[in-house]
Amino acid sequence: MDMSARAREALLLLTAALETHLDAILNRRSPDDAMVDDAYEALAEAFERYEETLDVEFAEGLPMILDEDDEFVDEAETPLVDEDLDPHANEDDDELDDDLEEFDLRS
């Protein structure tokens, strides 16, 4: 099997896992429905397989990562703050601009 065929197969499995996951959610019988959990796990495995195939075969990656936590974290309990996303988010842009204006490349 050539590289593109392996990547295509992994992509088809990922797409099927996404469909199965959505179907499980839409047909959920209870908040703790095992079908949803199983579909979630299968989706995670399919994603990892596709990601690994892209990496091994083409040295490419995806612009997303899987959450490694097994337990769901309620974001209301642990909200993201600007510093979590960008440690420089609270820096004063005007002050930084002033520093650039003072910098002279000619000296």
Distances (CA, A) of 57 to 11, 14, 24, 51, 97: 13, 17, 32, 10, 44
Is 70 exceeded by the pLDDT of residue 87? no
Q: Tell me the pLDDT band of 13, cut-offs 50, 70 and 90.
A: very high
What token pair was written down for 10? 């992994």
Decide which of 23 and 82 is more confident. Answer: 23
Look up the pTM and report it. 0.61
Q: What pLDDT does 26 receive?
A: 97
Decide which of 81 and 23 is more confident. Answer: 23
Distances (CA, A) of 34 to 65, 79, 83, 88, 107: 24, 28, 36, 42, 68
Q: What pLDDT does 25 receive?
A: 97
Q: Tell me the pLDDT band of 90, cut-offs 50, 70 and 90.
A: low
Give per-residue pLDDT as tens, 31-81: 999 999 999 999 999 999 999 999 999 999 999 888 776 555 555 555 555
